[in-house]
Chains A and B, each alone.
Chain A
Amino acid sequence: MTDMLIYPKVTDYAVPFFILAILIEIAWITFKKRGGRYETRDAMTSLFMGVGSVVSGILLGFIAWNFFMFLWWLTPINLGASVLVVVICFVLDDLRYYWVHRFGHRVRWVWASHVNHHSSQHYNLTTALRQTWTGTFTLMMVVRAPLILLGFHPAMVLFVGGVNLIYQFWIHTEAIDKMPRWFEAVMNTPSHHRVHHGRNPRYLDANYAGVFIIWDKMFGTFVPEVEDEKVDYGLIHNIGTFNPIRVAFHEWVAIWRDWRQPGLTWKDRWNYAVKPPGWRHDDKGGSTELLKRRHVARNPEVAGTPGFEDYKA
């Protein structure tokens, strides 16, 4: 299949809306004295990461595009471009997003790319734009392969991916508390996504959804925002730089340094790339499970509550 299909690059067209929404959020927080926090250098770092991500897409996007067009050439199936097909593609791509995002937190090679999105200690609309520059190197483009082989045109797959990212912009805010119950049940919301950005043991490795929170409920990774436990944003070990280049590459450098430790086997080096962040060959690392276990040991009353269902006091 080689016929062409053209969709607008929706993320580019959304830029004026992003800027306007950020200004409105700053004004809201300033005048209302609630609904989040802004720090100039942190927010500017996030915005520069967003710009760098667009530049990275321009420079490296051809790799994924050629891979997708190769798959499109291979597949004998063409589902066309009807509205129904676009809707189905959007839903299936959101499932794809869930798994890529989950790998992004559980496989260090993918985390090295995604970590920058979590590297701010703030949670506001600029955090949404703190995007990766190195996504191409993770090779997670292969997770989109089934969609194209099933007959969804690569242009359509990228279009719905862009719509997915635009949806996720507005959920990066503390200015919205909770949406109506039916909406919270089905859709990803500011409340659900705040949990995802939390470094509290309760909230670690939860709520990977892009648009539909149902994937987390289906695959057992859903944790609700608990009223009496405010989300603490950032990383387990927060980074101390506003330099976008250091933000973009710090975990890749950390992997390289781990690989260069003396006395490692090749299996150790492999594990430093594919095991969850925090894994160490000498067992001195701090996994999510260990952090949760320690937290429950210190606070036995939380055992069995959301985020600690599998942990006993």
Chain B
Amino acid sequence: MPLHILAPMVVVGLLIAWGTMRWAGCSRDLHFTTVEDARLHWLRHRPGAKPRDIIVASDGRAALVEVASGLWLLRSFGIDSVIHHLDQAQLTPVNQGLTLGFQEYDDPKAKITLTPEEADIWRDRIKAHQQESRND
């Protein structure tokens, strides 16, 4: 098929697909409504690692999860979720929370929206954990 037909067809197709999904309500974000909800999402990622403690951010889009292997971030990713080990995360305080930097090329940064009180708790918890890891 000539490129001058294929290219416009693809562009129009992408726009129609995007518009249809917006119309159909496919652009929502996942929120962890309770600790139990966050726990279930965590166990989907790591079925064998039972959480000892979970702190859910007040906006419901992230949670700190402590398991035997250390401290992890569980965060919403579209209508799904992803996890990160926090051993080597770089913390940067920002206006409405924290930015966490990771070494992974597939997910180098996560902005976590937190109240000032939450941000203090999260920062202290992560730093304490990282200190413990270095001592081990």
Please report A residues at the B interface, Cβ cutoff 8 Å: 9, 12-13, 15-16, 18-19, 22-23, 26-27, 29-30, 37-44, 47-48, 51, 54, 121-122, 126, 232, 234, 237-242, 246-247, 249-250, 253-254, 257, 294-295, 298
Contact = CB atoms under 8 A, between A and B. Distances in A.
B86 to A, nearest CB: 14
A40 B27 contact: yes
B1 A12 contact: yes
> Majority SS of interface residues in chain A?
helix
Contacts of A9: 1
Interface in B24-55: 24-27, 44-45, 47-48
A250 B52 CA distance: 31
Given A13-B1, A51-B10, 18 more contacts: A12-B1, A15-B6, A15-B10, A15-B13, A26-B17, A29-B24, A37-B79, A39-B27, A40-B21, A54-B10, A121-B77, A126-B17, A240-B104, A241-B106, A249-B105, A250-B105, A254-B105, A254-B106
Nearest to B45: A238
B121 interface: no
B27 A298 contact: no
A39 B18 contact: no
B107 A241 contact: yes
Nearest to A299: B47
B106 A23 contact: no
B78 interface: yes
Nearest to B10: A51
Contacts of A15: 1, 6, 9-10, 13
A240 B109 CA distance: 9
A245 to B, nearest CB: 10
A26 B9 contact: no
A238 B105 CA distance: 12
Interface string B48-86: 100000000000000000000000000101111011100
B110 interface: yes
Interface residues of B, number: 33
A16 B16 CA distance: 12
A239 B104 CA distance: 9
B14 interface: yes
Interface in B95-116: 104-107, 110
Contacts of A48: 14
Given A22-B17, A250-B106, A242 B26 contact: no
B110 A240 contact: yes
B78 A23 contact: no
B21 A43 contact: yes
Nearest to B9: A15
A265 to B, nearest CB: 23
Contacts of B92: none
A253 B105 contact: yes
Which 4 A/B pairs are nearest by Cβ-Cβ distance?
Answer: A240-B107, A250-B106, A19-B13, A240-B82
A29 B22 CA distance: 14
Of residues B16, B17, B44, B75, which shows the largest number of chain A Cβ atoms within 10 Å of its Cβ? Answer: B17
A40 B107 contact: no
B90 interface: no
B20 interface: yes
